[in-house]
């Protein structure tokens, strides 16, 4: 079953990677077509391209996260600190992508229809809330790890000794 699970996650990672690459390619093609149009704005094309690239980076990071944590490591035992670092790296990339996408949306909306600025602003606020949630998670999990870290290390040592005895 482990090989099937790894295979599924590996295939999903590959599809996400290919999708991210296709998104960048389509974004470049779309921007090139917009810039060549006689009545189009080059700035608008670049803002659209930035949106494509930001989403592609987030998709690529999800693919990388799946591959590293589920395919390469598999069922390898992880410490709480390692899981926290991995989740923090993943969410940090997503938060950055959300902030950048929100900023691009603010610039685009401000150029087109200022009355619609509430939607990009809501995206920036949501990004901030995700960042605050990540900070709270970091703080709480670090506190818990300090309290139970010694117990976990003792249990891990016992399990290692039992495995070595088998």
pLDDT, one tens digit per residue, over 92-121 is 888 888 888 888 888 888 888 888 889 999
> What sign has the CA pseudo-torsion 6, 7, 8, 9?
positive
pTM of the model: 0.67
Chain segment 25-54, per-residue pLDDT in tens: 999 998 888 888 878 777 788 888 888 998
Residue 105: is it exposed, middle or buried by C-beta count within 10 angstroms (0-12/13-18/19+)? buried
The pLDDT, as a whole number, for residue 21 is 95
Residue 150 has pLDDT above 90, yes or no: no
Per the model's pLDDT, the better-predicted residue between 131 and 89 turns out to be: 131
Least confident of 1-15, 72-86, 144-158: 144-158
């Amino acid at each position: 079953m482990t090989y099937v699970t790894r295979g599924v996650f590996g295939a999903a990672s590959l599809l996400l990677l290919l999708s991210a690459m296709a998104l960048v390619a389509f974004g470049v093609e779309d921007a090139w077509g917009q810039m060549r149009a006689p009545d189009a704005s080059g700035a608008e094309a670049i803002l659209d391209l930035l949106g494509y690239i930001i989403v592609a980076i987030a998709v690529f990071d999800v693919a990388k996260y799946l591959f590293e944590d589920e395919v390469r490591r598999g069922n390898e035992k992880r410490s709480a600190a390692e899981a926290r670092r991995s989740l923090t790296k993943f969410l940090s990339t997503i938060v950055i992508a959300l902030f950048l996408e929100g900023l691009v949306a603010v610039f685009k909306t401000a150029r087109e229809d200022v009355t619609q600025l509430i939607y990009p602003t809501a995206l920036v606020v949501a990004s901030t809330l995700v960042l605050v949630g990540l900070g709270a998670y970091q703080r709480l999990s670090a506190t818990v790890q300090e309290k139970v870290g010694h117990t976990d290390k003792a249990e891990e040592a016992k399990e290692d000794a039992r495995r070595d005895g088998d």
